[in-house]
C-alpha cells in the first residue's frame, strides 16, 4: 500500500500509538532501574550493618533497650516521673519501629543485654571534660563476633528492619519525583539513586533507630498527598493515606508536621474543583448552600476519613502518654531524661552548615573535603537551574523544553520540606541537634529539588552528567564502609598474620603476663603538628588486670614531649578481657608542637604490683618537621655547606643567636655547629660548639627541605660571629660557598654584629 495514501487521521493514530508505546517502554525501564537501585542499596545496607560496631551509631543502644524491654516484658516501659533512667532515654519515642523490632527479638534469648555492654570510660560522652580522642563509645568484645546469637543477633535483625524501611523510602522518593516531573521518568530514577547512594542515609538505614521508618512513611504520605491534591484518589486510597499518616505519627514526632501537608493538599484539591470553569463559579454565587454540599462536603468527608483513620491508628499512643505523664507527646518527661541546652536563633546559624554536612556524612570528619566541594558545586548548579525555571515561568509561563515540573506537586514537596526544617529549628533551639538525619523525612524533597534543578541547566549533556553523578555517589557509598568506617573503628584483637610491620623495642620487661611485640608510629615523619598515632601491640601470656603503662615520647635532647599513664588498651580492650595468646592493639595519639623540628623516640614503662616492672625504649627513628614560611625567616642569606645544608637566615640579639638551616642532602654522620664569638679586633672571646637544635635533631636525621631552627646562647659583648659545621670525628669542616659560589675563607660563615640587624 502506498504510504502517501494513508489518511491524516490514521497517521495521527499511528503517532499516538508509537508515543504511548515509547512511554510504556520508558516507564518500564524506570521501574527496572528502581528495582536495581533498591537491590544495590539493600546490599550496601547489609555491608554497613556488618561493618559498623554495635551501638556506635547515634542513640542505638537506647533504641535497642526500648526494643528489648518490650520483647522481654511484653509491655512498653514507663519513664520515671522524677529523676532519670539513662536506659529509658529513647522510650518516650513513638513506638512503631520498636514494636516491629521487638517482634523480631522476642523469640531470642537476650538476657545478656545490657550486661555485655561496656562503655569506654574515657570517651567525652561518658566522662565530662575527658580529652580522649578514641572514637569508640563502647568496648567491643568477643560477644559481638559472628556467628551472632541472643541479643547481638537481635540487634542485627533490628538493623535489617531499618534497611527494609530505607528501601521503602527509596520507592517513595521515586513515586514523589514521578508526580513532580511526570514527563521525565529518568529524573525520578536519578533522584532515587542520589538518595540510595548517600553514605549517611545508608549508614542510618543500617543501624537501630526510627529515622528510616519515619522517612519511609513520610515520603509515602507525601506521594499520596500529591495525588490527593491532583484529584487522583478515591475513598480507598484516602483510607490508605490516613493509615500511613497514623503509622507516621507512631514513628516519630516530627511526622506531626505532615498535618500541614494534608491540609494544603485538601485546600489545593478544593481550589482546583472550585476554579475548574466559570459555570461552577456562577453556581456558587447563585446557590451557595448547594455549592457547599456539592464541593465542600466531599472535601469534608475526605478530611474526616484521612484524619480519622490516622487518629484510630495512632491515637492510643498519645492518649497513653496523656494518662501517664499529663502530656500527649511525653515531651516533658523525655526532655527530663535528655536534658536541655537552649540556644538563640543567632547561635544556630553556624550549626546550619553542620546540618548540611551531616546530611551526607555519617561520622564527623569521615569523608574527604573534596566530596563536599563537589556536592556544593552540584547544589549551586541546581540553584541556578531553579532560578532559570522561575525566570522562564515569570517570562512566558513555560519552563525549559526538557522539564515541566507539576506546580501542585512541587508546592507540596517544598512546603513539606519547609515545615520539617522549621520543626528542626525549633528542636535545635531546645537541644543540641544539628544532625542532617533529622531531615530524612523530607529526603524526597531534597533529592527531587536537586535533580530537577540540575536538569534545567545541564542541557544535552544531561544523561552523561546524570550517569556521572550516580556512579560517583555509588563509588563513594561503596568505599565508605571499607575505606572509612572500618579504619575509624579498627579491631582491638588481631591475628598474628594481621600484624603490620613493627618497630621492635629493647628488652627490659620482667614477667608480668604480657609481652610487647612492637609498635608502629604513623606517620614516621610528621609535619606541622599533624597528629602522630603511636600503637603498641601486646600479646597476653595470662590475664593482667592490674597492669598500668606509662607511655612517653622523648626528644633526643631529653625533652619530654608527651606522656600518658593508663592500663594498656584501656579505651579499646582493657586487660581484664585478655585471654592467653590474645594480640591486642593499644593506640595513643600525640599532637606535636608545630614549630619544632626534632627526632624522637618512645619509651614504655610497665607498672605492676605498685612499682615499675621494666622499661622498653624504641630506636630514635621518628621525626617531626616544621614547615616555615620563607617570608618569616629574618635576615635571609645563602651559604651552602657541602652537600648537606644551607644557612638561609639568622637572628642576633644581645646574647642569643638563632640560625635557620635548611637541609639539601642526607648524611649518616652527626655534625657539630661551631660558633666563634669574636671581639671588634677579631680576637676569639668565646666558642660555643654543640649539635644543632640542642641535639634535638642531629644531622643524620635531616631530610632535604627540612628547616631547622637552631637557638644558641652566645653571651653579650662581641664584634662579630663565625659559624659552620664540622665533624666531631676528625674536626674537618664542611666546605662553605656563598650565594655566588665563592668559597668562604676557613669555611666559617661571618655574621655581622647586632646593630647591622636593626
**How many domains does the structure of the chain reveal?**
3
Give the range of the structural domain holding residue 192, as residue numbers without chain letter: 12-480
> Does residue 597 sit in the same domain as residue 669?
no
- 145/148 Cα distance (integer angstroms): 6
Question: What is the CATH number for 749?
Answer: 2.70.50
Query: 749 lies in a domain?
Result: yes
Burial class of residue 346 (count of CB atoms within 10 Å of its CB; 0-12, 13-18, 19+): exposed
> Does residue 397 sit in the same domain as residue 450?
yes
Question: What is the CATH number for 518?
Answer: 2.60.40.770
- 677/684 Cα distance (integer angstroms): 6
480 DSSP 8-state letter: I
Handedness of CA 551, 554, 558, 559 (dihedral sign): negative
> Does residue 343 sit in the same domain as residue 410?
yes
> Does residue 566 sit in the same domain as residue 702?
no
pLDDT, residue 611, reads: 79
C-alpha pair distances (Å), 676 with each of 376, 459, 749: 59, 74, 10
pLDDT, residue 14, reads: 38
Query: 3 lies in a domain?
Result: no
57 DSSP 8-state letter: S
pLDDT, residue 758, reads: 43
pLDDT, residue 654, reads: 76
- 322/328 Cα distance (integer angstroms): 4
> Does residue 607 sit in the same domain as residue 536?
yes
> Does residue 602 sit in the same domain as residue 651?
no
The number of residues making up the chain comes to 758
Q: Which single residue is written with the C-alpha cell 662579630? A: 720
> Does residue 589 sit in the same domain as residue 638?
no
* The last residue of a domain, from among 625, 649, 681: 625
Low-confidence ranges of the chain (pLDDT < 70): 1-27, 81-84, 274-295, 336-343, 396-403, 507-510, 544, 753-758
Query: 100 lies in a domain?
Result: yes
> Does residue 414 sit in the same domain as residue 530?
no
Residues 480, 367: contact at Cβ < 8 Å?
yes
pLDDT, residue 396, reads: 67
C-alpha pair distances (Å), 623 with each of 184, 532, 700, 702: 59, 10, 11, 9
* The last residue of a domain, from among 601, 625, 649: 625
Q: Of 233, 234, 196, 236, nearest to 215 (Cα)? A: 196
> Does residue 96 sit in the same domain as residue 147?
yes
Q: Phi/psi at 444 (nearest 5 deg)?
A: -65, -40
Q: Which grid cell is 125? A: 560522652
> Does residue 330 sit in the same domain as residue 393?
yes
pLDDT, residue 338, reads: 59
Residues 687, 718: contact at Cβ < 8 Å?
no
β-strand partners of 709: 660
> Does residue 271 sit in the same domain as residue 377?
yes
Query: 489 lies in a domain?
Result: no
Query: 279 lies in a domain?
Result: yes
pTM: 0.87
> Does residue 239 sit in the same domain as residue 382?
yes
List, for residues 459-490, the tens digit of each pLDDT value.
777 788 889 999 999 999 999 999 999 999 99
pLDDT, residue 646, reads: 96
- Pairing state of beta strands 138-139 and 720-726? unpaired
Amino acid at each position: 500500500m502506498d504510504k502517501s495514501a494513508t489518511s491524516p487521521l490514521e497517521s495521527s493514530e499511528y503517532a499516538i500509538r508509537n508515543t504511548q508505546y515509547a512511554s510504556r517502554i520508558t516507564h518500564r525501564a524506570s521501574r527496572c532501574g528502581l528495582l536495581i537501585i533498591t537491590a544495590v542499596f539493600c546490599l550496601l545496607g547489609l555491608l554497613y550493618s556488618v561493618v559498623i560496631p554495635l551501638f556506635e551509631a547515634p542513640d542505638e543502644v537506647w533504641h535497642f533497650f526500648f526494643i528489648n524491654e518490650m520483647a522481654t516484658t511484653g509491655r512498653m516501659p514507663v519513664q520515671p516521673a522524677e529523676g532519670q533512667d539513662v536506659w529509658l532515654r529513647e522510650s518516650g519515642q513513638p513506638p512503631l519501629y520498636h514494636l516491629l523490632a521487638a517482634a523480631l527479638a522476642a523469640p531470642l534469648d537476650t538476657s545478656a543485654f545490657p550486661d555485655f555492654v561496656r562503655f569506654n570510660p574515657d570517651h567525652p560522652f561518658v566522662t565530662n571534660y575527658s580529652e580522649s580522642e578514641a572514637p569508640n563509645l563502647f568496648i567491643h568484645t568477643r560477644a559481638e563476633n559472628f556467628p551472632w546469637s541472643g541479643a547481638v543477633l537481635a540487634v542485627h535483625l533490628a538493623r535489617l528492619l531499618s534497611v527494609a524501611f530505607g528501601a521503602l523510602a527509596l520507592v517513595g522518593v521515586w513515586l514523589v519525583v514521578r508526580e513532580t516531573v511526570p514527563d521525565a521518568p529518568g529524573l525520578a530514577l536519578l533522584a532515587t539513586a542520589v538518595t540510595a547512594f548517600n553514605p549517611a542515609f545508608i549508614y542510618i538505614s543500617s543501624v537501630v533507630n526510627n529515622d528510616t521508618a519515619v522517612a519511609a512513611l513520610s515520603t509515602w504520605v507525601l506521594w499520596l498527598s500529591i495525588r490527593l491534591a491532583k484529584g487522583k484518589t478515591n475513598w480507598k486510597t484516602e483510607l490508605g493515606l490516613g493509615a500511613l499518616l497514623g503509622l507516621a505519627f507512631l514513628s516519630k514526632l516530627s511526622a506531626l508536621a505532615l498535618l500541614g501537608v494534608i491540609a494544603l493538599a485538601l485546600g489545593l484539591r478544593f481550589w482546583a474543583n472550585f476554579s475548574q470553569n466559570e459555570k461552577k463559579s456562577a453556581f456558587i454565587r447563585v446557590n451557595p448552600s448547594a455549592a457547599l454540599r456539592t464541593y465542600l462536603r466531599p472535601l469534608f468527608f475526605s478530611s474526616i476519613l484521612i484524619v480519622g483513620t490516622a487518629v484510630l491508628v495512632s491515637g492510643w499512643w498519645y492518649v497513653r502518654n496523656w494518662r501517664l505523664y499529663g502530656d500527649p507527646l511525653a515531651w516533658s518527661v523525655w526532655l527530663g531524661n535528655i536534658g536541655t541546652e537552649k540556644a538563640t536563633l543567632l547561635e544556630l546559624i553556624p550549626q546550619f552548615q553542620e546540618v548540611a554536612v551531616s546530611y551526607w556524612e555519617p561520622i564527623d570528619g569521615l569523608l574527604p573535603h573534596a566530596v563536599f566541594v563537589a556536592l556544593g558545586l552540584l547544589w549551586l548548579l541546581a540553584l541556578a537551574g531553579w532560578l532559570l525555571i522561575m525566570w522562564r515561568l515569570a517570562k512566558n509561563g513555560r519552563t525549559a523544553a526538557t522539564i515541566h515540573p507539576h506546580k501542585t506537586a512541587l508546592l507540596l514537596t517544598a512546603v513539606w520540606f519547609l515545615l520539617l526544617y522549621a520543626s528542626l529549628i525549633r528542636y535545635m533551639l531546645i537541644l543540641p541537634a544539628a544532625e542532617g538525619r533529622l531531615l530524612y523525612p523530607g529526603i524526597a524533597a531534597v533529592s527531587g529539588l536537586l535533580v530537577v534543578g540540575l536538569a534545567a541547566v545541564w542541557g544535552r549533556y544531561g544523561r552523561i552528567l546524570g550517569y556521572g553523578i550516580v556512579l560517583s555517589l555509588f563509588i563513594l557509598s561503596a568505599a565508605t564502609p571499607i575505606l572509612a568506617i572500618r579504619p575509624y573503628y579498627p579491631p582491638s584483637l588481631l591475628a598474628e598474620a594481621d600484624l603490620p610491620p613493627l618497630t621492635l623495642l629493647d628488652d627490659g620487661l620482667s614477667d608480668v603476663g604480657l609481652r610487647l611485640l612492637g609498635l608502629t608510629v604513623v606517620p614516621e615523619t610528621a609535619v606541622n603538628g599533624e597528629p602522630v598515632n603511636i600503637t603498641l601491640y601486646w600479646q597476653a601470656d595470662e590475664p593482667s588486670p592490674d597492669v598500668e603503662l606509662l607511655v612517653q615520647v622523648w626528644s633526643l635532647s631529653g625533652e619530654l614531649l608527651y606522656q600518658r599513664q593508663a592500663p594498656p588498651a584501656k579505651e579499646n580492650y582493657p586487660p581484664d578481657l585478655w585471654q592467653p595468646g590474645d594480640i591486642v592493639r593499644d593506640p595513643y595519639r600525640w599532637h606535636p608542637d608545630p614549630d619544632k623540628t626534632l627526632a624522637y623516640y618512645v619509651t614504655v614503662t610497665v607498672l605492676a604490683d605498685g612499682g615499675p616492672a621494666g622499661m622498653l625504649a624504641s630506636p630514635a627513628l621518628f621525626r617531626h618537621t616544621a614547615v616555615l614560611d620563607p617570608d618569616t625567616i629574618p635576615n635571609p642569606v645563602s651559604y651552602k655547606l657541602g652537600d648537606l645544608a644551607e644557612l638561609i637566615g639568622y637572628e642576633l640579639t644581645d646574647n642569643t643567636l638563632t640560625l635557620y638551616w635548611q637541609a639539601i642532602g642526607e648524611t649518616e654522620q652527626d655534625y657539630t655547629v661551631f660558633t666563634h664569638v669574636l671581639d671588634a679586633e677579631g680576637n676569639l672571646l668565646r666558642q660555643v660548639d654543640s649539635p644543632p637544635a640542642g641535639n634535638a635533631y642531629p644531622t643524620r636525621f635531616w631530610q632535604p627541605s627540612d628547616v631547622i631552627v637552631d637557638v644558641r646562647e652566645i653571651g653579650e659583648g662581641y664584634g662579630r660571629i663565625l659559624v659552620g659545621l664540622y665533624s666531631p670525628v676528625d674536626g674537618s669542616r664542611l666546605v662553605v660557598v656563598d650565594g655566588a659560589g665563592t668559597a668562604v675563607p676557613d669555611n666559617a660563615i661571618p655574621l655581622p654584629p647586632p646593630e647591622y640587624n636593626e
